[in-house]
Structure 1
């Protein structure tokens, strides 16, 4: 059995995950979300774990950066940019436009959604019922139907668009 020390695998793991995060982040920045987002999130979690192992393995080298002015300046700029971007996104009322559209869609009764989807409210209810969801009335919203079926609205959206 081959034994690998943390020193042997932590740096290559950080590099590989970092390259993937960079490429997938650029793809997401330019609008390619669907095929990339899930992998980006999971590899991002793995990346965080790899970084912790890498830092603990190279602790003395890591702490030496905090005695260098240039390194501290770079760390401060990145921390400030990160905090600013998080603060900006948190202060946006209601989230992104896309998020607001989906929330409006989820709150609207089937009777109001039907013209948007070019179907009758009854056919939307039938589609949801065929997907295994109980629909009491076409006056219910996607949110209400999801809640009464113990699921989330995106599950119902999938059923409507299949």
Structure 2
């Protein structure tokens, strides 16, 4: 199958506009609606567009890898990518994303401590969580002890708490 520049280039351009816009909005915490989901899921359109664009222009693409400057730029981004797998957020509570730290503090706190934040009694919150299907027996338990590490379960429990 011949890959055509007629659709590969517009696909790349459209996906870039979407990714750039939603990425900038997320960076400045100004995303609304489905911006984050669009960024995550439609990022695949960017991958497909760039791949198709590269294949449609393969001879030009290959020439870039004969130039030291191009190789250097690609190498810098590959090093940044590699470093992103190994550099961790600080775990002492003094660094990293404050929203994530706040979420983890709530998830690790006992139900009895979380209930006042949700304007509920500990027993009422315990009952709400049980009705939502969480196997929680005591207000001394933390949310994370019943949700486990699965982020979707954690957010489901937080949604019950802060409904």
> Which bracket does the TM-score occupy, shorter chain normalised?
0.7 to 0.9
Would you say the 8 A contact 2:118–2:161 is kept in 1?
Answer: no
Aligned-residue offset at 1:109: 0.9
Distance 2:88 2:99 in 1: 16
Q: Is the 8 A contact 2:111 2:142 kept in 1?
A: yes
User: For 2:145 and 2:72, how far apart are their aligned partners in 1?
Assistant: 51
Say if 1:32 and 1:115 are closer, same or farther in 2 by CA, change over 3 A.
Answer: same
Which deviates more, 70-79 or 90-99?
70-79
1:157 maps to what in 2?
Answer: 158
CA distance in 2 between partners of 1:156 and 1:69 (Å): 52
Structure 1 length-normalised TM: 0.79
- The aligned counterpart of 2:51 is 52
User: How many pairs align?
Assistant: 154
Structure 1 pair 38–71 and aligned structure 2 pair: CA distance change class (3 A): same
| Equivalence for 1:37 | 36
Superposed CA deviations along residues 67-92 of structure 1, whole A, max 9, x for unmatched, are 345544554555566667x379x332
The answer on whether the counterparts of 2:111 and 2:125 sit within 8 Å (CA) in structure 1 is: yes
What is the rounded CA distance, in whole Å, between the counterparts of 2:104 and 2:30 in structure 1?
22
Let me know the Cα RMSD of the aligned residues.
Answer: 2.6
- CA deviation digits over 1:126-147, x for unaligned, max 9? 2212323332111111112224
Q: Choose from 1, 6, 19 the match for 2:3.
A: 6
Residue 93 of structure 1 corresponds to 90
- Cα distance, 1:111 vs. partner? 0.8
**By how many angstroms is 1:61 displaced?**
0.8
Distance 1:27 1:55, change over 3 A: same
Matches within 5 A, 1:65-80: 65-72=64-71, 74-76=73-75, 78-79=77-78
Deviations 1:117-160 (A, max 9, x none): 2321111112212323332111111112224xxx7211111112
Q: Where in structure 2 are there 5+ consecutive unaligned residues?
A: none
Matches of 1:81 and 1:134 in 2, distance apart? 42
Q: What TM-score comes out, normalization by structure 2 length?
A: 0.78
Question: Are the structure 2 counterparts of residues 81 and 136 from structure 1 closer, same or farther at C-alpha, using a change threshold of 3 Å?
Answer: closer
